[in-house]
Structure formats: structure tokens, C-alpha cells
Amino acid sequence: MARVVWHVPVTTTSTGSTTVLRLFRLRDGRRCAVGFSSPEALTALLGPDQAHTELGEPALRGLTAPLGVDTLVLDPRLVAPPVAAVSAPLAPAPTAQLQHR
């Protein structure tokens, strides 16, 4: 049986001496770890500058369990709507008038 490898996004410190697993959030706010089935899938979602490492699922679970992260997502998709450009300045929020009695 072939070993399944996940391509997992990481962050590296400015000195390059430490690599940190990058965690994400689900819609309900819970943290999760993500992995991609190929480097191309990772690049398509997170961009070409996203550093990554290769891990098997058991290793990824072993790293995230002590952090209280028990959800892994394989090949996530971006679900946030695109940010629209603001063409006009926003109106100031109305202020409430306090009445003293």
C-alpha cells in the first residue's frame, strides 16, 4: 500500500531556523489543519509563495492533537466571497443622543 503524503502549509521564522504548522479556522470558528493532495493544489489556493512540507496523516494528527485541533481538511476550497472595492466613502455611523434625567 502506498504511503499517502499531504502537502501541509507551514510558516518559517525570519531566521529560517524554525518551521511552524499553519492552522486555519472552519466557518464555526474551530481551528483545523489543512493538507493538499498535491503541491499544485496548495499553490492554486494559497499562492506560489506559501511554504509547505510533506506529512502523512498520522504525523499531522500527532502534531495537532496536543493543540486541541482534531479536524483535518484535505484539499479545502476558498469559501469566502471576494472583497468588493469600495467606490464611495462610507457614511459615518449615526451617533446616539443621551438624555440626562
Rounded CA separation 15/13 (Å):
5
Would 16 be classed as within a structural domain? yes
Query: Residue range 77-88: average pLDDT?
Result: 63
Could you please report the per-residue DSSP string of 32-92? EEEEBSSHHHHHHHH-TT--EEEE-HHHHHHHHGGGT---EEES----SPPPPPP-SPPPP
Would 84 be classed as within a structural domain? no
Would 96 be classed as within a structural domain? no
Would 70 be classed as within a structural domain? yes
Domain total of the chain: 1
Would 56 be classed as within a structural domain? yes
Domain with 69 in it: 6-74
For 20-68, write each residue's pLDDT tens digit.
999 998 888 899 999 999 999 999 999 999 999 999 999 999 999 999 9
* 10: helix, strand or coil: strand
Would 91 be classed as within a structural domain? no
What pTM was estimated for this model as a whole?
Answer: 0.71
What is the reported pLDDT for 40? 96
Would 57 be classed as within a structural domain? yes
Of 70, 60, 76, the C-alpha closest to 21 is 60
